Amino acid sequence: MFKYTCLNPIADIGLKNLTDDYKVTENIAEAEAVLVRSASMHDMELSDNLCAVARAGAGVNNIPLDECAKKGIVVFNTPGANANGVKELFVSSMLLAARDIVGGINWVKENKENANISKDMEKAKKQFAGTELMGKKIGVIGLGAIGVLVANVANRMKMEVYGVDPFLSVHNALSLSRDVTIVKSYDEIYKECDYITIHVPLLEDTKGMLNKEAFAKMKDGVVIINMARDTLVNDDDMKEALESGKVAKYVTDFPNPAVVNMPNVIATPHLGASTEESEDNCAIMAVDEIRNFMENGNIVNSVNFPNCDAGTCDTKGRITIAHKNIPAMISSITHVFSDASVNIANIINKSRGDYAYCIVDIDSESTEDMVQKLVNIDGVLKVRIVK
């Protein structure tokens, strides 16, 4: 029996895939798995029972990744599961920036008692006129699951699309339309583009990346679209850029108290993934990841541990070990089994940065004694008997 808790509502279509082996608890201290959307886990106590956290979404800035890794807690996200939802909101963002649709709608509301509305609007409408997207240059910063869809849809809207991503994967490169020009530096995007849209994770390196220096390199009257996270943009510098007209419009799905008071901001309340389809897809993927981890010990789509997938276990026992990526760990681990005269049928060890993960399939039953000996190895963070 595995105990799990949901820190936010998670779509039923995903939760119903949790079998009778899973029992929900309100008490995070006794949960082995956590499902979370946007609740912040930064100030939460991480109990020794906790093995896995799955974020139903892409961004993981609400989870203390390193603290989790230090305790051997594997954190998952659901890359791509909500990408279409975000892409569709992105399309509306461009349209809202290009044409004063919001101003026009407000004008109609204000004139709801006006018997001459049909006539008056023909005069009023010029104040809401805009421009078209076709032929404009757009730069997509970050070509992950969302960035690729965004670049391709902008291309289909006949925009001239430039993309940049220092970590572009082969899969994502192959998913991009051939018409998208991949450039090597952010500066090329800043210099060329009328629209710039950002789709990168919020990390120490990316925090405040759209700042005074970046704005200075951009075209006058550029439109910035931010469907990723608010602090990717330096608020003070954005305020100055909006006031000077350097940035003509800032469309963001992440308003904060500073941004909502700036001129020429169009803000939505974190709606990117708020579609039935995205919520369902994220819930299904997050639950699959938790099940695969809890039942098989496999890691797929982790953001703080390496992916490590040994399929289902067909030997007598399986033990998993989350450990530090330091010398002699594998020999220390295998000694525990050889000392107990236990045959290792299969072993996979994968590392990622400071952390590593090992799946050991053995031809004997797993025992608490093995677990204890593994836990006692310096650098071992968590040990689980999977079978």
Chain residues that interact with ligand MLT, rule: CB under 6 A = 37-38, 57-59, 82, 270, 272-273
In the complex, the smallest distance separating the C-beta of residue 147 from ligand MLT, rounded to whole angstroms, is 13
Least distance CB 85 / ligand MLT (angstroms)? 8
Quote the CA–CA distance of 87 and 320 in Å, as a whole number: 38
State how far Cα 176 lies from the chain centre.
19
Q: Among 310, 325, 311, which Cα is nearest to 356's? A: 325
- Give the shortest CB-159-to-ligand MLT separation in angstroms: 24
Contact 199, 144 (CB under 8 A): yes
Considering the complex, what minimum distance in angstroms separates the CB of residue 59 from ligand MLT? 3
Chain-centroid distance, C-alpha 194: 26
Question: Half-sphere exposure of residue 74, counting CA atoms within 13 Å on the CB side?
Answer: 32
Residue with smaller CB distance to ligand MLT, 39 or 183: 39
Closer CB to ligand MLT, 82 or 332, in the complex: 82
Indicate the residue among 285 and 322 with the shorter CB distance to ligand MLT: 285
CB closer to ligand MLT out of 282 and 319: 282
Spatial contact of 46 and 69, defined as CB atoms under 8 Å apart: no
SS3 27: coil
Compare residues 89 and 308 and give the one whose CB is closer to ligand MLT.
89
Look up residue 58 and give its two tokens: 């892409």
The minimum distance between CB 37 and ligand MLT, in angstroms, equals 5
Q: Are 358 and 320 in contact (CB under 8 A)?
A: yes
Q: How far apart are CA 145 and CA 87, in angstroms?
A: 10
DSSP string over 261-323: GSTTEEE-SS-TT-SHHHHHHHHHHHHHHHHHHHHH--B-SBSSS--B---S--SSEEEEEEE
Is the Cβ of residue 259 or residue 342 nearer to ligand MLT in the bound state?
259
Secondary structure element (H or E) that encloses residue 219, with its range: none
Measured distance CA(44)–CA(40) in Å, rounded: 8
Of 50 and 86, the one with the shorter C-beta distance to ligand MLT is: 86
Separation in Å, CA 192 to CA 114, 145, 200: 45, 23, 20
The smaller minimum CB distance to ligand MLT, of residues 57 and 255, is found at 57
Which C-beta is closer to ligand MLT: that of 58 or that of 154?
A: 58
The CB-of-80 to ligand MLT minimum distance in angstroms stands at 10
Question: Which residue type occupies 233?
Answer: V
Chain-centroid distance of CA 157 in Å reads 26
> 3-class DSSP state for residue 158?
coil
Q: Is 316 exposed, middle or buried (0-12, 13-18, 19+ CB in 10 A)?
A: middle
When the beta carbons of 32 and 230 are compared against ligand MLT, the nearer one is 230
For 253, 352, 360, the CA distances from 346, given in Å and listed in that order, are: 47, 20, 6
Other CB atoms within 10 A of residue 184 CB: 8
For the CB of residue 234, give the shortest distance to ligand MLT in the complex, in Å: 20
User: Least CB distance from residue 13 to ligand MLT, whole Å?
Assistant: 16
Least separation in angstroms between residue 273's CB and ligand MLT is 4
